[in-house]
Amino acid sequence: MAGANDLIIRIGGEGGEGIISAGDMIAQAAVRSGLEILTFKTFPAEIRGGYAMYQIRFSHEKILSEGSGFDVMCCFNQEALDVNGKSFTDGTVLIYDYPGGDIAEEQDIPGVYCYAVPMSKIAKEDLGTYRSKNMVALGAISELFSISMDSLRATIESKFGKKGADVVEINFKALDAGKNHIRENIDKKDPFKMDPGKPQEDVIVISGNEAVGLGALLAKCRFFSAYPITPATEIANFLSRHIPKFNGTLVQAEDEIASLANVIGASYGGAKSMTATSGPGVSLMQELIGMATMMEVPVVIADVQRGGPSTGLPTKHEQSDLFLAAHGCHGDGSKVVISPEGVEDCIYLTVEAFNVAEKYQVPVLLLSDGSLGFRTSSIKKPDPSKINIVERDKYDPASGDGGYKRYKLTESGVSPMSAPGQPGGNYISTGLEHAESSAPNYTPENHVAMLDKRFHKLDNIEDFFPATEFDEEEGATVGVIAWGSTIGTAREAVKIARAEGSKVAALYPKLVWPVPKKALERFSSKYEKILIPEINKQGQLAKIIASETDIKPISYTIYGGLPFTPRMIADKIKEVI
């Protein structure tokens, strides 16, 4: 449930009924009218024949998470009612397709405001096209909760304008039909209403996946190769449209192994390079991630996590690839794992992922997740001129120190990297253990020196990438540590818990591997109990922190394919105190 000036609307029904596009439009319209929005979607793993849901949270303030529950439920069919009915509480608003739709009975649920809107019937009988059902629903919703009709019309116009005036007209008519049905037949009793805000110039609405693509472009990524996979494909979709504009290259490879191989070859050649996939792809990439570690080639791998293991729950949400990301690859492999908390982070942490990869010449995994990838959010328009870009330490042919040593044992552990074309910089990049020159070398001394080098270079990463946020509280005994998209939820939970009188602190690391030890130790030294909520079975971050520090965290895991609600974490905080 949302607070004041905060409204959560859900639309649910059969996949393919236009729920996603209706949701997108009302979200866009709300932003046009000056509101903040954050959306949340669930799809079936099948193309047709399953339950799909689109939730929009509206507010006048920055929104941090999906929120807890919902205020308004708009049901396109009986299944949507069944799935969501159990979550109705006192004061929930139910809008449902009746009569003439899939829902056979009139609803009269105690404590719930039930508004019947015959969406299917209006669409089919009055408008002559069943496909306009979603627009009828939008009209009803905007009328009921004062979402600006002008903004909605403007959104429709910019979306369908290209398809012709008649298409726009049909949609307008459907909107009006929905609006009029409310005006004429419904006696609004519920208290929900979103006042329009002050329209803002510098706001964009973008999804998490698109934001990763945008971040890559901002970081000057010029080579991208991937293989389609849910829920990561939209990163490729975005870049396929835009990377050629920068004379960059996009390859749809034959599989994930080939895509990472492409990326490693391109990065060896000097291009900032990236791939994007989900868990199954990351599993397949293990050998080559280790090769990138060994070759010390910078690469960025976005992993939009889904429910696992195996094919699992392709369209659901989980934070369960951390073990694989941090501890995967045979042998001792040094690499970095970064995880964004929200859509804005998807932009800026993608830039950071490139910076870290280039700075340390390592593979960097960027762990997003299905909810975040599909989420759209209103965020401040990024300013490209303010983006800080780090370049790899390049070999300088003029350095003139005799034979070039690709894997020179330097103090920092990072060795200048040449690129083909540079005279004197010739070397063979290799996955075999090698001497400084890059020639194969299997002596014990050399292997020790090179393993040390590859780990040592990351010793100071926490200072280079200090993206760990402290939210301290005097007198608190419990400190919450969250990662990835659970951070937003935890932020709200902490607010709620504090508002309800609990003392609680929080730490939000964006660097999850190597774990930011200094921050973790500083934080844990102040709070007796460390609570780590995360969405996986094993408590993966909690276990990694337990093994890397002296912290003995209390692990709080859920793993049903859905995000936490702030309420859940707030309750847990109280329980732990």
Partner 1 sequence: MATETIPMKAKDYKSTIPPTWCPGCGDYGVLNAVLKAFADLKIDINNTALVSGIGCSSRFPYFVKTYGMHTAHGRVLPVATGLKLARPDLEVIAFGGDGDGFSIGGGHVPHVVRKNTDLTYILMDNSIYGLTKGQCSPTSEQGMVTSTTPYGSPDNPVNPLAFCLTYGATYVAQGYSSKPKVVQELVTEAIKHRGFSFVNIISPCPTFNKINTFESYKDKVEPIPEDHDTTDLNAALAIALKAKEGKVPAGLLYQVKTPTLVDRLNEIRQKAGGSDDYDINRIIDAYRA
Give the single-character DSSP code of 329. S
**Closest approach of Cβ 291 to ligand TPP, in Å?**
10
22 CB burial (10 A radius; 0-12, 13-18, 19+): buried
> Per DSSP, what are the bridge partners of residue 95?
74, 115
Give whichever of 176 and 256 is closer to partner 1, judged by the CB atom: 256
Residue 316: which residues within 8 A CB-CB, separation 6 or more? 42, 306, 307, 370, 561, 562
Give the single-character DSSP code of 330. S
- Binding characters for a second copy, 555-574, by CB under 8 A (x = yes): ----xxxx------------
Helices (H), 442-576: 444-456, 461-464, 486-499, 517-524, 540-548, 566-576
CB 282 within 8 A of CB 233: no
Q: For residue 190, which of 52, 89, 325, 120 has the smallest C-alpha distance?
A: 89
Give whichever of 102 and 256 is closer to ligand TPP, judged by the CB atom: 256
- Binding characters for partner 1, 6-25, by CB under 8 A (x = yes): ----------x---------
| Residue range at the interface with ligand TPP (CB under 6 A); choices 134-142, 259-267, 276-284, 466-474 | 276-284
Give whichever of 306 and 491 is closer to ligand TPP, judged by the CB atom: 306
Q: Which residue has the tokens 């903040």?
A: 36
Give whichever of 50 and 416 is closer to ligand TPP, judged by the CB atom: 50
**Closest approach of Cβ 569 to a second copy, in Å?**
17
| Residue range at the interface with ligand TPP (CB under 6 A); choices 2-10, 76-84, 279-287, 494-502 | 279-287
Residue 186 to residue 184: CA distance in whole angstroms: 6
Which of a second copy, partner 1, ligand TPP, none lies near 57, with the C-beta cut-off 5 to 8 A by kind?
A: none
Give the single-character DSSP code of 500. T
Q: Is residue 196 near ligand TPP by the rule CB under 6 A?
A: no
Q: Is residue 11 near ligand TPP by the rule CB under 6 A?
A: no
**Closest approach of Cβ 155 to partner 1, in Å?**
8
CA atoms within 13 A on the CB side of 470: 14
Work out which of 281, 307, 514, 566 binds ligand TPP, going by CB under 6 A: 281
| DSSP state string for 134-169 | HHHHHHHHHHHHT--HHHHHHHHHHHHGGG-HHHHH
CB 341 within 8 A of CB 488: yes
Beta pairing class for 6-14 and 72-75: parallel
Work out which of 67, 139, 213, 280 binds ligand TPP, going by CB under 6 A: 280
Q: Which residue has the tokens 């989420």?
A: 375
**Closest approach of Cβ 516 to a second copy, in Å?**
17
Residue 21 to residue 206: CA distance in whole angstroms: 14
Q: Is residue 421 near partner 1 by the rule CB under 8 A?
A: yes
**Which helix (H) or strand (E) element contains residue 367?**
strand 363-369
- Binding characters for a second copy, 44-83, by CB under 8 A (x = yes): xx--------------------------------------
Beta pairing class for 336-338 and 51-59: unpaired
CB atoms within 10 A of CB 174: 26
**Closest approach of Cβ 319 to a second copy, in Å?**
10
Residue 230 to residue 91: CA distance in whole angstroms: 36
- Binding characters for partner 1, 118-157, by CB under 8 A (x = yes): -------------------------------------x--
Work out which of 139, 248, 328, 382 binds a second copy, going by CB under 8 A: 328
Q: Is residue 441 near partner 1 by the rule CB under 8 A?
A: no
| Residue range at the interface with partner 1 (CB under 8 A); choices 318-326, 379-387, 490-498, 553-561 | 379-387
**Closest approach of Cβ 137 to partner 1, in Å?**
20
Residue 480 main-chain phi, psi, to 5 deg = -95, 135
Which of ligand TPP, a second copy, partner 1, none lies near 562, with the C-beta cut-off 5 to 8 A by kind?
A: a second copy
Q: Which residue has the tokens 């003029």?
A: 398
Q: For residue 523, which of 542, 539, 508, 544 has the smallest C-alpha distance?
A: 508
Q: Is residue 310 near a second copy by the rule CB under 8 A?
A: yes
Q: Is residue 397 near partner 1 by the rule CB under 8 A?
A: yes
Q: Is residue 253 near ligand TPP by the rule CB under 6 A?
A: no
Q: Which residue has the tokens 């014990």?
A: 444
Number of residues lying near ligand TPP (CB under 6 A): 8
Work out which of 110, 191, 331, 423 binds partner 1, going by CB under 8 A: 423
- The binding site for a second copy (CB under 8 A) comprises 44-45, 278-280, 282-284, 286-287, 290-291, 293-295, 303, 305, 307-316, 318, 320-321, 323-324, 326-333, 430-433, 440, 442-445, 447-448, 451-452, 455, 536-538, 540, 543-544, 546-548, 550, 552, 559-562
